[in-house]
């Protein structure tokens, strides 16, 4: 009987304790679920993060995508056209020099016309001024070099433009996103939570990252092509001086 009494009294006591614990834990569980539901879901995956900035972010990302495609096309085009074999054909300078030494001006002109290029254009301008003496030839060579180098630099200038515009587009998207984020804070009278504010800020910064991703390769490619053009212009100037060296020596006598 004693054991039965002890078990009978212990069971209601245990049940009361469980009810009390349940009453204590229930509000905490409800609040925890409410906080979890209130927190914005964090985008997962590359495309979710890229397009998490809303309509403004999507527009800015689209503009940056177009700029990146244009930059990729320009880089590929310059790789195929700004090459030594296209701008400085092998043996052209020596062929023109030998023709001029033998007095075959027509042969020198035909050699330049047969292999149109940066060097051929410069040499053709020098040949066209042979009858006016070395001073005219030298001036014509300088003008041709300046014209052709300016044309090549204008061609690669678009990469520099893209490299400068892309970060500005990304920054514009970030500023607009920040304005929207803080506008939502003001609309809720400051009741927005820190995670919500942080989500809006990092979503706005996505466009800045996109702008830098486009700008860095564009500026790097522009610097590489600019140095390559400078090298070819210097080589063309040296080759032109070598081709017309006999005429220059005659003029000094």
Tens digit of each residue's pLDDT (9 = 90 or more) over 105-148? 899 999 999 999 999 999 999 998 888 888 889 899 999 999 99
Q: Are 176 and 74 in contact (CB under 8 A)?
A: no
Range from 32-36, 114-118, 231-235 carrying the lowest mean pLDDT: 32-36
Range from 117-121, 166-170, 247-251 carrying the lowest mean pLDDT: 247-251
> Torsion angle, CA of 177/180/186/189, rounded to 10 degrees?
-90
- Averaged over 218-241, what is the pLDDT? 94
Residue in 111, 73, 11 with CA at minimum distance from that of residue 3: 11
Q: Output DSSP code: residue 75.
A: H
Biggest CA-to-CA distance, the chain: 141
Unique residue bearing structure tokens 């500026």: 219
Q: Are 221 and 126 in contact (CB under 8 A)?
A: no
User: Is the model more confident about 34 or about 148?
Assistant: 148
Give residue 195's pLDDT band: very low, low, confident or very high (50, 70, 90): low
Q: What is the pLDDT of residue 237?
A: 93
Give the separation between CA 170 and CA 247, rounded to whole angstroms. Answer: 57
Give the separation between CA 99 and CA 104, rounded to whole angstroms. Answer: 5
Q: What is the pLDDT of residue 30?
A: 34
Range from 42-51, 74-83, 115-124, 241-250 carrying the lowest mean pLDDT: 42-51
pLDDT at 253 exceeding the cut of 70: no
Burial of 134 (C-beta count, 10 Å sphere; 0-12/13-18/19+): middle
Give the separation between CA 129 and CA 122, rounded to whole angstroms. Answer: 12
What are the pLDDT digits (tens) for 46-70?
Answer: 456 555 556 666 788 889 999 999 9
Please state the length of the chain.
253
Give the separation between CA 31 and CA 227, rounded to whole angstroms. Answer: 64
Residue in 248, 231, 224 with CA at minimum distance from that of residue 88: 231
């Amino acid at each position: 009987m004693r054991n039965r009494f002890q078990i009978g009294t212990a069971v209601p006591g245990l049940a009361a304790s469980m009810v009390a614990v349940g009453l204590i834990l229930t509000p905490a569980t409800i609040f925890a679920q409410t906080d979890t539901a209130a927190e914005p879901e964090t985008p997962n995956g590359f495309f979710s993060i890229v397009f998490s900035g809303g309509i403004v972010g999507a527009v800015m990302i689209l503009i940056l995508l177009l700029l990146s495609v244009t930059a990729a096309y320009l880089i590929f085009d310059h790789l195929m056209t700004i090459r030594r074999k296209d701008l400085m054909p092998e043996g052209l300078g020596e062929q023109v020099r030998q023709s001029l030494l033998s007095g075959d001006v027509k042969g020198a002109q035909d050699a330049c016309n047969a292999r149109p290029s940066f060097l051929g254009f410069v040499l053709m301008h020098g040949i066209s001024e042979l009858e006016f003496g070395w001073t005219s030839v030298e001036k014509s060579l300088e003008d041709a070099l300046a014209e052709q180098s300016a044309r090549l630099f204008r061609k690669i200038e678009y990469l520099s433009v893209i490299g400068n515009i892309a970060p500005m587009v990304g920054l514009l998207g970030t500023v607009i996103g920040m304005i929207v984020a803080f506008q939502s804070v003001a609309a809720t009278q400051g009741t927005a939570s820190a995670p919500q504010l942080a989500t809006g800020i990092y979503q706005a910064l996505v466009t800045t990252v996109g702008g830098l991703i486009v700008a860095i390769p564009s500026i790097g490619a522009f610097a590489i092509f600019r140095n390559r053009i400078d090298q070819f212009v210097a080589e063309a100037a040296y080759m032109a001086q070598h081709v017309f060296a006999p005429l220059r020596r005659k003029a000094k006598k």
